[in-house]
Amino acid sequence: MTEESRERAQALNNLFEEAFEEIDPAAESPLYGQLCSLHERYGEAELIAVGGMKRILKVLDRHGNRQVAMARLHEDASDLLFDPLIREARLTALLEHPNIISVHDVGVDEGGQPYFTMDLKAGDGLDVVLQKALAHGGCSLADRLDIFLKVCDAMTYAHSRDVIHLDLKPANIQVGHYGEVLVCDWGLAKLIGDTDEIDDDVLLNPDLLSGMTVYGRVKGTPGYMAPEQIRGGIRDKRTDIYALGALLYAVLTCRPPLDGDTEAMLKAAVSGDIVPPIVRGSGVPESLSAVVMKAMALKPADRYASVSDLITDVRAFLGGFSPVAHESGPATEFLLFYRRHRVSCNVAAVFMAMVVVVTALFVDRLSDKREQAETLAARLRVEKQETGTLAESLQVEKEETETLAARLRVEKEDSEALLREVGRLATAPPDDVAAPGDQLSNDFFNQLPLVSYELSMRSVREMIDSEPERANEAHSWLGYLYFMSAEFTRAKPHFEINPERMRGLVRVNEALAESFDPEKHQISAIQLAGIIKTLESMNRIVMAEKMLSYDYASLGYREGYELAIAAMFGDHADCFSYEAGTRTLTVDAAGESFSLRTKNGQHPLRFLPIERLILVDTMISDSSEFAGLKALEVADLRGSQISSLGDLTLFPKLKTLIVRPDQLPQEEKDRLRALVQIRD
């Protein structure tokens, strides 16, 4: 055999040996080899939570190379707890849902102790989330409701598999950092219709458990347990619905539904003594509070029939609709409709406003055009009938000009007359006797005080500019007008120019200017009453009336205004008693004779909102005494001498008349009964 043949034979022999040589799989597949070399699946355990029956450990699952949560019984647990733990694991494993904790492995370790493993999620319990929200506001109501709806989704699925949880509470809800929500701790869960009395006896035995909320009596957590669960009655899906209502209570208020010791909470739950969440939490929507109270109804039949119905009501609120549990009125429904369609409603409102404005402008312009056409036609007819030449037309224009000039002269005379009235009041003797020709000016001021005031102010200022020789007199009038409008600081320099002209008023103004804060121009009703009393003591009745008229026209009614009104009646001020809450005025004259009008015939009571008038022991015999009470609805005239009401148009809102049996003639009663109710 040649050398080449021997080399070829040796190469073939080597190939044959390599083909039949055994290859170690571990050398080719290191991960496979790693699994084959493992003697224990789970690594060292780290305690992360402790419950009544079990403890939760964080362990490394070497098979999956990940951290998982392992549930084990307590080290000194009885063998009687083996089956409840395994039963919880298998029941949880049946529920495959994104919001229900997943079970990975169920087994027995080398020491004969049962265990099961499940997801290990980062995050906090819902109880911690709610505590942070209460302390720092870190989680909004919308976010908390989203968590609640995920819990409801999980329970809807569990109920579809005939599984009830029986221990729903914030501590058993795990909330992850990225929106994950998991319903955990199904240790008390059961299949509907399953009557496992052995498990119940075991779980109610305090000697076998390390700690429960209520030892040896009930399974569950006070505040989240339905009344039938506390009594040991039939537990079904509506038992979980009660717990979901309690969970929603906590989500809305960030507080548990019940406070106090265990006995107090159990008693409150059994009696249905639940404070609505809207009372305990600020900003709790009324509709969601109604949803909670329906879900936590004492009788199961009064609760939601299913978790889906509860979800529907919560989503109705989130969608801007009224939940079924909330009996809302038309106003609420309209507001909800607007919120749902805010943009459309705003657009429609703007469109309608534009239509109204455009229509109004069109009608206004059309009306103007029509008026212009009618005016032009009338003018043409007048010109055709009365003038045929340009000279006649000019004559008409001249007459119109003269008419306008005459009107301006009349207005000027009216302004000068009003100015004379101001001057007369400023220099009038203490008795303030009004001349017959002055009464019209007084009436005008009391009817239109702001207009009269402005006209007087303008006339006085024009006098200073046009009649320098009367400047001192005009400054006195300016001081008078500023005093009337309670601008005492502004009145002072004008009074000081001619202090002898109104000496008494000057002294009063100086005192008021020192005590009255010019930065707070609005005078109080009590201050006004004091000023009116002072003017009354100086016999400046007319000025007091006008000051009251101006004050009411500029500032209106305010608290204590009845004191200013009563001050107008001088010594009889104590006869008036006004109740602002019921708008009732009582006039008790104690047999004295006086009028409800002032000396100048004015009605100061018209400045009070009086709906009920009671006259006690008065000598009033004429109903026109209180004719200015336009808001009067009830008049008790038994304490008066009135025998006829005269014209009822003076009292447009009068509904009820109270009189003595013999006070009104029968024909007067017959006349009035057709218009008002008479009580005698």
* pLDDT one-digit tens code per residue, 655-668: 999 999 998 898 88
Stretch 635-640: mean pLDDT, rounded? 90
- Other C-beta atoms lying within 10 Å of the C-beta of residue 346: 11
Span 589-616, pLDDT tens digits = 888 887 888 776 778 888 899 999 999 9
Percent above pLDDT 70 for the chain:
81
Place of tokens 């534009």: 354
Beta-sheet strand order (sheet of 576-579): 576-579, 584-588, 612-616, 634-636, 656-658, 677-679
Confidence tier at 201 by pLDDT (50, 70, 90): very low
**Side-chain-side CA neighbours of residue 440 (13 Å):** 6
pLDDT for the residue numbered 326: 72
User: In 3-state terms, what secondary structure has residue 206?
Assistant: coil
Stretch 291-306: mean pLDDT, rounded? 95
Span 104-140, pLDDT tens digits = 999 998 889 999 999 888 889 999 999 998 888 778 8
Span 339-368, pLDDT tens digits = 655 677 777 778 788 888 888 888 888 888
> Residue 208 above 70 pLDDT?
no
Please name the fold of domain 574-680: 3.80.10
pLDDT for the residue numbered 216: 41
pLDDT for the residue numbered 27: 56
Do 574-680 and 123-338 have the same topology in CATH? no
Beta-sheet strand order (sheet of 66-73): 46-50, 54-61, 66-73, 114-118, 103-108
More confidently predicted of 522 and 489: 489
Q: Partners of 628 in the beta sheet?
A: none
Specify the range with the lowest mean pLDDT, choosing from 18-32, 77-91, 195-209: 195-209
pLDDT for the residue numbered 323: 83
CB-neighbour burial class of residue 188 (10 A; exposed 0-12, middle 13-18, buried 19+): buried
More confidently predicted of 406 and 343: 343
Output the CATH code of domain 123-338: 1.10.510.10
Q: Domain locations in the chain?
A: 3-37, 123-338, 343-386, 392-568, 574-680
Q: What is the average pLDDT value for the chain, to the nearest integer?
A: 81
pLDDT for the residue numbered 572: 85
